[in-house]
Chain A
Amino acid sequence: MNTMVTGAASFLGRFEGLRERLPGGRTPWVAKLRAEAAESFRAQGLPGRRIEAWHYTDLGVLAQLGFTEALTLADEAPALPPTRAAHRAVFVDGRFAPALSLLPPGAAPLSEALEATEGRLGALAQNLPIVALNTMLFEDGLVLDVPAGVDAGEMELLSFATHAGRAIAFHPRHLIRLGEGAKLTLIDTSLGEAEATYLHNPVYEIAVAEGATLSHIRIQREGRAGFQLSTVLATVQAGGTYDNFTLNAGGRLVRNEIHVALQGPKAACHMNGAQLVAEGQHADTTTFLDHAAPDCPSRQTYKTVLAGRSRGVFQGKILVRQAAQRTDGYQMNQALLLSDDAEINAKPQLEIYADDVKCSHGATVGALDEAQLFYLRARGIPASIARAMLVEAFLTEAIEGVTNPLAQEALSEAISGWWQKEAV
């Protein structure tokens, strides 16, 4: 209990020290928003395991670290992966890096566009402590508008954490809005230097209008001493689609929370993901799908592969409100344990108030199949390659939903990179 309070206190202390200097510090609506968030965070603290939603993920380690803010941009541009898409927004230690970025029309860094986001920033925020922490301390982020009817193709969002020699925290706030019938594929990658100790705490507020489609591919490859606590808050209007694919393949402790509300008829959501968790890592995917309108389909497929002493968490809640008749919901989560010391905690939850609903969920946990492994080896395939093939096969169902070629490429690179490093 003490560490929890300490952890919250250090963030609150920084807010008190910085509040005037934070972006919008002298803008009344921003200052008010931050003050309210600070109150909320003060009241809730860093969530402890007594809170049901955090039962399987212990932030004790993080609370003890005492993060400070990032200082300045690194002297040298970090080694970033090659550009894949026409446009790219790069953030280094949470701050927009103009020299490394090429923004499309309708995009700006939050640090510049903040004044114009009144009524928008915070509109989707829920009373979640990690979101409050972000609101209290955000400095930058991506503000992106895709106008109605525009197919914006692909864009990259890249976060890179450098080794600062001390623990730093950054809390980017990304505001993404797609107008009616607009389209975008966002390839969203988080990277960090191997030795860097940091907390990356991004919050996404995403609004998908009628008939618009956002495909959001998140590739989390934080450094092995990095922490990521991310929250996606998305709303989808009639006939719109929000697709989220999240690969968790890095970091020391990572939690992705994804909250999607289907607010108009025939709005759709596909949430898929893969978690690759190795020695000493903890990965948590927590989803909350709010069916608030009729005739909405939702699909979730999550696969977790665990090696060494590692821990994986999947929590998935589907809420079907009374108005959401003819909801078609499906959720599956499966785990593959490659070691006896790995642990997976899975908690699916259905809460249904409508009467004409099709909703199913399932979960499996297993090890690599010895018969399959022997079959491959008996054909001359070395054990390590055979294992990799079976792990890849296990992930297939979750990954095949990603159809954009650039996103596919980024994903398969990340997965094979993980395997080469962590192969057991």
Chain B
Amino acid sequence: MLKIENLTAEIDGKEILKGITLEVPAGEVHAIMGPNGSGKSTLSYVLSGREGYEITGGTATFNGIDLLAMEPEERAAAGVFLAFQYPVELPGVGNANFLRTALNAIRRARGEVEVDAMQFLKLSRAKIKALQMSEDMLKRNVNVGFSGGEKKRNEVLQMAMLEPKLAILDETDSGLDIDALKVVADGVNAMRGPEFSALVITHYQRLLDHITPDRVHVLMGGRIVKTGGPELALELEAEGYAKVAA
């Protein structure tokens, strides 16, 4: 599904990704763990198309298509979803309007019929219930005045609505209490299946207690320095990055 080969990228002339090679097959959940400043967020932004990063080498393909040549909205339509580490507040934009606009934009791009207001309401209510969120969330402005936990739940709600093929979760666990963490994990687990892959980027092991990864990659200094099974996450937690990577 996702294939990254020798990817290098820099920001403001400073090289952050120094040759990443990684493959996430369909149906698998991979974790990327790494200390602060290792390039985790840069990788997520580069994969989702944020401006300001210069790709200096390597490739990233999504089901064989060159991901790096696409606009952010084209990547989303193709099925890539980034759950933001810091979800952005949009004052003046209602959450329901935002979700419906996004859903219909993606459906249009995929040649599917758009959903009308009634269908949208029905669909969003079902997803909200499954995520144990308050319906009130739809009426509020996107992320405005949301607590940290609400913002992350809202990311998971967007993911549930847009049904991506590949979800990149950028430190979705940061700032979450255990209840919210479980909701987020349940949201991801509910989507697991042969057509869904995820790249779970995290600093800590605790999210991986709830989302069991198929593979764990250790990212340090802009490179994958070690890859292993779920037990690698436990090892990192116990021994620390420096020792495991050594």
Contact = CB atoms under 8 A, between A and B. Distances in A.
Interface of A: 369-372, 374-383, 385-386, 389-390, 392-397
Interface stretch (B87-95, B130-138, B215-223, B236-244): B87-95
Contacts of B52: 370
Nearest to B77: A380
Given A379-B105, A396-B91, 15 more contacts: A369-B88, A371-B88, A374-B51, A375-B88, A376-B90, A377-B71, A377-B73, A377-B76, A378-B76, A379-B106, A379-B162, A381-B102, A392-B92, A395-B92, A397-B92
A371 B82 CA distance: 13
A378 B44 CA distance: 11
A362 to B, nearest CB: 16
A375 B90 contact: yes
A382 B73 CA distance: 6
Interface string B87-112: 11011110000100111011001000
Contacts of B50: 374, 378
A300 B50 CA distance: 37
A375 B76 contact: no
A392 B92 CA distance: 8
A380 B88 contact: no
A371 B98 CA distance: 15
Interface in B31-49: 48-49
A389 B51 contact: no
B213 interface: no
Given A370-B51, A372-B88, A380 B93 contact: no
A115 B103 CA distance: 62
Contacts of A377: 49, 71-73, 76
Contacts of A386: 73
9 contacts: A371-B88, A376-B98, A378-B84, A379-B162, A380-B103, A380-B109, A389-B101, A393-B91, A396-B92
B158 interface: yes
Contacts of B98: 376, 379, 389
B112 to A, nearest CB: 12
Contacts of A394: 92
Interface in B49-80: 49-52, 71-73, 75-77
Most buried by A among B50, B73, B103: B73
Contacts of A392: 92-93
Contacts of B81: 378
A381 B73 contact: yes
Nearest to B84: A375
B82 A378 contact: yes
Contact of B102 (A369, A372, A379, A383): A379
A386 B98 CA distance: 10
> Shortest 10 CB-CB distances between A and B: which pairs?
A393-B92, A380-B76, A379-B102, A380-B106, A396-B92, A375-B88, A377-B72, A380-B105, A377-B73, A393-B93
Given A371-B88, A393-B90, A394-B92, A378 B72 contact: yes
A213 B84 CA distance: 48
Nearest to A394: B92
Contact of B73 (A380, A390, A397): A380
A376 to B, nearest CB: 8
Contacts of B87: 375
A396 B52 CA distance: 30
A211 to B, nearest CB: 34
B105 A385 contact: yes
Contacts of B77: 380
A15 B109 CA distance: 61
Contacts of A383: 71, 73
A397 B92 CA distance: 8
B92 A378 contact: no
Contacts of B103: 380
Nearest to B88: A375
A396 B90 CA distance: 12
Contact of A372 (B49, B75, B90): B90
Q: Which of B51, B88, B109 has the most CB of A within 10 A?
A: B88
A386 B73 CA distance: 10
Contacts of A369: 88
A381 B49 contact: no
Most chain B CB atoms below 10 A, which of A375, A379, A382, A394: A379
Interface string B139-169: 0000000000000000000100010000000
Nearest to A392: B92
A370 B101 CA distance: 19
B151 to A, nearest CB: 12
A383 B73 CA distance: 8
Contacts of B105: 379-382, 385
A399 to B, nearest CB: 10
A381 B142 CA distance: 15
Contacts of A375: 84, 87-88, 90
Nearest to B103: A380
Most chain B beta carbons < 10 A, residue from A371, A380, A382: A380
Nearest to A374: B50
B101 A378 contact: no
